[in-house]
Structure 1
Amino acid sequence: MIEFKNVEKKYPNGTAALQNVNLKIGQGEFVAVIGLSGAGKSTLIRCINRMHDITSGQLMVDNVDVTGLKGKQIRNFRRRIGMIFQSFNLVTRTTVIKNVLVSFVPDLPFWRKVTGIFTKEHKLKALEALDKVGILDKAFVRVDQLSGGQQQRVALARTLAQNPDIILADEPIASLDPVTSKQVMDDFKKINKDMNISVIMNIHHVEVALEYADRIIGIRKGEVVFDGESDKVTKHILNDIYGGQVEELKSSMEEKSAHV
């Protein structure tokens, strides 16, 4: 479904964010992208929905070269791809259901966009999405009254409401405690399995990546240095991905968990 062919991404200052990336990701896969900060993980997933443009190579989604899409074509293409951010990107001073209904705005006629009036069908779809992530009872609660984990679930429900084929998640549990992180990751896994939605996740938590993802892509200095099944990942492979910093990484993660 998604194919990177000799993809490179260079920033205007000459920094090579991605180099010679060749990957194929099939429909329904759960993929975790791991590596040090600055390795190119976020850039990789943000190229898929054209948040970043590649410098050379080809990026195909369902045999369509996404680099050639323009204007309305890009907007229509992005409707198929949900994006989950670490910062949630919610309007906190309004209700949960209104945040989910935002996913329908691009398809509304002008008068509905102006008045903010949604159809009964839209409201039912929003409630169904909230039910899928276990927070239907919070539908009419203001977002700023929710915990961080609940807010991330609202963001996930908003994405589900648009009925995507692919969900891209950029550090979705980075600001959450271990217990809440598990709940959110359970949601991602359930959605992946029950709805056959591809999940491609950039994540710092190595243990979590290995537990939940079917496939691991390891990035170092913009290059893919490992691509394989989660249960094939060894300490040697992790040291290769993280440049020998695995023990330091584990210690810092354990210390962070101890203070939560």
Structure 2
Amino acid sequence: MIKFEKVSKVYPNGYKALNNVTLEIEQGEFVAIIGLSGAGKSTLLRTINRMHDITDGKLTVHDREVNNLRGKELRRFRRKIGMVFQSFNLVTRTTVIKNVLTSRVPDMPLWKAIIGLYSKADKIIALEALDKVGILDKAYIRADQLSGGQQQRVALARTLAQKPEIILADEPVAALDPVTAGQVMDDFKKINKEMNISVLINIHHVDLALKYCDRVIGIRAGEIVYDGPSKDVDHEILKEIYGRELADNEVMGE
């Protein structure tokens, strides 16, 4: 379980990105976080794996208070939380499987990591991850020969190879065309349902959030203004999250 209790985040410049956030996310949920740019969506995600420290309140993940973790304990904690970004962050001049294998490095002896000496077990894990996202046949192709959607699938496979309990995805389909975005969201849905991995996606496309995710969290100016089933999101709720003009025009596609 991920549990926010009156959590706030204030950046050094005084900007308050999160304001008194309280919510709980159970293991195995597929959650979309929606809202305007600058509303606090990315900050909310990045406090979970402690890319950003919270300023006030209490944040626990599987009963561990995140801000109390230090050193090796923090590194072990982060191994169980995968992160997928809008930019694929691949080494494009090397093969797909080598990109996926980089997620195994923290579990390897230093000398093996330096020379890239991966075990047979690690290679099997990487190949299984690629199979999960439907690009096993691309394993030995250079990453720069793949389409944008395929590169994002490599990034997702790399995260799967960590053996995570939670996946955080920060605008993972923002750079993709609508058809490819749907295919990548299919992969997230499959992983969530088949592997019971909690998936939290910060997503701009409301239509995709409502189609694929079971639960929607709407955030505005750092505050949660909606938290409930995606099937219950209507025009009035979107106005609360985005404001009337954007809900009428951009969000609803009118």
- Normalised by the length of structure 1, the TM-score is 0.96
Residue 142 (structure 1) aligned with residue 142 (structure 2): yes
Displacement of 1:250 in angstroms is 3.4
Secondary structure in structure 1 of the residue aligned to 2:226: strand
Secondary structure in structure 2 of the residue aligned to 1:228: strand
Tell me the equivalent position of 2:166. Answer: 166
Instruction: Give the distance between the partners of 1:144 and 1:233, measured in 2 at CA.
Output: 39
Secondary structure in structure 2 of the residue aligned to 1:226: strand
Q: Deviations over 1:40-76 (max 9, x none)?
A: 0000000000000000100001111011001111111
Unaligned runs of 5+ in 2: none
Secondary structure in structure 1 of the residue aligned to 2:186: helix
Amino acid at match of 2:213: A
Amino acid at match of 1:249: E
Tell me the equivalent position of 1:246. Answer: 247
Secondary structure in structure 1 of the residue aligned to 2:191: helix
Instruction: Give the distance between the partners of 2:205 and 2:110, measured in 1 at CA.
Output: 43
Instruction: Give the distance between the partners of 1:125 and 1:63, measured in 2 at CA.
Output: 28
Is the deviation greater in 148-157 or in 111-120? 111-120
Instruction: Give the distance between the partners of 2:128 and 2:49, measured in 1 at CA.
Output: 25
Give runs of aligned pairs for residues 33-52 of structure 1, distance below 5 A.
33-52=33-52
Instruction: Give the distance between the partners of 2:185 and 2:2, measured in 1 at CA.
Output: 22
Tell me the equivalent position of 1:191. Answer: 191
Tell me the equivalent position of 1:11. Answer: 11
Displacement of 1:78 in angstroms is 0.4
Secondary structure in structure 2 of the residue aligned to 1:67: helix
Q: Which runs of 4+ in 1 moved over 2 A?
A: none
Tell me the equivalent position of 1:258. Answer: none
Instruction: Give the distance between the partners of 2:89 and 2:72, measured in 1 at CA.
Output: 23
Displacement of 1:246 in angstroms is 1.1
Displacement of 1:248 in angstroms is 2.8
Is the deviation greater in 26-35 or in 67-76? 67-76
Tell me the equivalent position of 1:216. Answer: 216
- Normalised by the length of structure 2, the TM-score is 0.98
Identity of aligned residues (%): 68
Instruction: Give the distance between the partners of 1:250 and 1:26, measured in 2 at CA.
Output: 28
Instruction: Give the distance between the partners of 1:74 and 1:247, measured in 2 at CA.
Output: 44
Tell me the equivalent position of 1:156. Answer: 156
Aligned-residue Cα RMSD (Å) equals: 0.9
Aligned residues: 253
Q: Deviations over 1:142-172 (max 9, x none)?
A: 0000000000000000011111000000000
Amino acid at match of 2:249: E
Instruction: Give the distance between the partners of 1:115 and 1:139, measured in 2 at CA.
Output: 20
Tell me the equivalent position of 1:257. Answer: none
Displacement of 1:111 in angstroms is 1.2
Residue 206 (structure 1) aligned with residue 206 (structure 2): yes
